[in-house]
Amino acid sequence: MTVLKTSLIRDIRTRVAGVVVGQDIVVERILIALLTGGHLLLEGVPGLAKTLLVNAVAKTIGIAFGRVQFTIDMLPSDVLGSEMLDQASHQFRIHKGPVFTNLLLADEINRAAPKVQ
């Protein structure tokens, strides 16, 4: 069982390394965060392929990937979603925001207002 898991993780790392070169430590940390149910903060200057890397990991392991570009004028409902009135049925429908995904990349979160962060 352990050999199978190790082989699977090695395969994931190899496939992602074929898409993004030189980010082996970051891939390892992303996988650790996913396997432990945790969160990960990726920081770096533009052009380090952070978005591509997270997208490649999600596609490789077959999970849903979402991305939110934060801005100062965003509201919490832009991230979480909201209830909307369906005019035809006169019932409220839940519109889920981008946070409802398996893997979410919150880009430029430092630009968001504190109530959104």
How far, CA to CA in Å, does 47 sit from each of 5, 50, 81?
Answer: 32, 8, 30
Q: Which of 74, 73, 56 is nearest to 65 (CA)?
A: 56
Neighbours of 15 (CB within 10 A): 15
Report how far residue 17's alpha carbon sits from residue 28's, in angstroms, rounded to the nearest whole number: 11
pLDDT at 110: 87
Inter-residue contact 53 to 26 (CB < 8 Å): yes
Query: Over the stretch 3-59, which tens digit does the pLDDT of each residue have?
Result: 667 888 889 999 998 898 888 899 999 999 988 988 998 888 888 889 999 999 999
When pLDDT is cut at 50, 70 and 90, the band that residue 64 belongs to is very high
DSSP class of residue 81 equals E
- In this prediction the pTM is 0.77
Query: Over the stretch 100-114, which tens digit does the pLDDT of each residue have?
Result: 999 999 999 888 888
